[in-house]
Structure 1
Amino acid sequence: MLPQAPLVASYHTGWKGLTFSHYCHPPHETVEHHLLQHSLAIADPKSCFQVERRLNGKLKPYAHGNGRVDIIPALLSHRTNWDRDVEFSVIAICPTLLHHATQELMQREVELMPQFAIADPVIQQLALALKLEIQTGCLSGRLYGESLGTALAARLVQNYAVSKPEFKANGLPQSQLERVVDYMKANLAQDVSILDLATLTGMSESHFSRSFKQSVGVSPYRYLTQQRVERAKQLLEQRSMAISTIALDCGFANQTHLTKVFRQMTGMTPKAYQKQ
Structure 2
Amino acid sequence: MVFRTRASSKDRHWNGFEAVIYEATAGYSKDQYVRHNVSMQVGRPLLVTSRCNGETMRRLQVPGDVKIVPLGVPRIWETESPTIKLTMYVSPTLVFSAAEAMGINPDRVTIAPQLHVRDPRIEHIGWAVKTELETPEPQGRLYGESLGLALTARLLSAYAPVAAPHGDATLSRRRLSRVLDYVQSNLSSDLSLDELAAIAGISASHFKLLFKQTVGMPVHQYVIRCRVEYAAELLQSADPPPADVALQAGFANQSHMARCMRRVMGVTPSALRG
TM range (shorter): over 0.9
8 Å CA contact 1:103–1:204 kept in 2: the answer is no
1:242 alignment partner AA = P
8 Å CA contact 2:47–2:80 kept in 1: the answer is yes
Give TM-score, length-normalised by structure 1.
0.92
Specify the alignment match of 1:69 in structure 2: 66
Deviations 1:138-187 (A, max 9, x none): 53110000000010000000000122442324221111110000000000
2-structure distance, mates of 1:3, 1:50: 16
1:178 alignment partner AA = S
8 Å CA contact 1:52–1:82 kept in 2: the answer is no
Q: Which moved more, 1:95-104 or 1:242-251?
A: 95-104
Specify the alignment match of 1:106 in structure 2: 104
8 Å CA contact 2:251–2:257 kept in 1: the answer is yes
Q: Which moved more, 1:215-224 or 1:160-169?
A: 160-169
2:78 alignment partner AA = N
Aligned partner (choices 15, 34, 39) of residue 37 of structure 2? 39
8 Å CA contact 2:137–2:256 kept in 1: the answer is no
Q: Secondary structure at the match of 2:155?
A: helix
Specify the alignment match of 1:88 in structure 2: 85
Task: In structure 1, list runs of 5 or more residues that go unmatched.
Answer: none
Deviations 1:180-223 (A, max 9, x none): 00000000000000011111222222221121111111111111
8 Å CA contact 1:232–1:247 kept in 2: the answer is yes
Closer, same or farther: CA 138–156 of 1 in aligned 2, 3 Å: farther
Deviations 1:90-126 (A, max 9, x none): 1111111111111242343331001111000111111
Q: Secondary structure at the match of 2:48?
A: strand
2-structure distance, mates of 1:75, 1:64: 26
2-structure distance, mates of 1:46, 1:121: 18
Task: In structure 2, list runs of 5 or more residues that go unmatched.
Answer: none
Specify the alignment match of 1:133 in structure 2: 132
Specify the alignment match of 2:223 in structure 1: 224
Specify the alignment match of 1:147 in structure 2: 146
Give TM-score, length-normalised by structure 2.
0.93
Closer, same or farther: CA 266–196 of 1 in aligned 2, 3 Å: same
Equivalent residue pairs, number:
271
Specify the alignment match of 2:10 in structure 1: 11
Aligned partner (choices 79, 85, 104) of residue 76 of structure 2? 79
2:48 alignment partner AA = Q
Specify the alignment match of 1:123 in structure 2: 122
Q: Does residue 167 of structure 1 match 2:163?
A: no
Runs of 4+ displaced beyond 4 Å: none
1-structure distance, mates of 2:22, 2:168: 37
Deviations 1:62-89 (A, max 9, x none): 2141221110000112322222222221
Q: Secondary structure at the match of 1:7?
A: strand
1-structure distance, mates of 2:73, 2:60: 20
Cα deviation for residue 45 of structure 1 reads: 6.5
8 Å CA contact 1:102–1:165 kept in 2: the answer is no
1:82 alignment partner AA = T
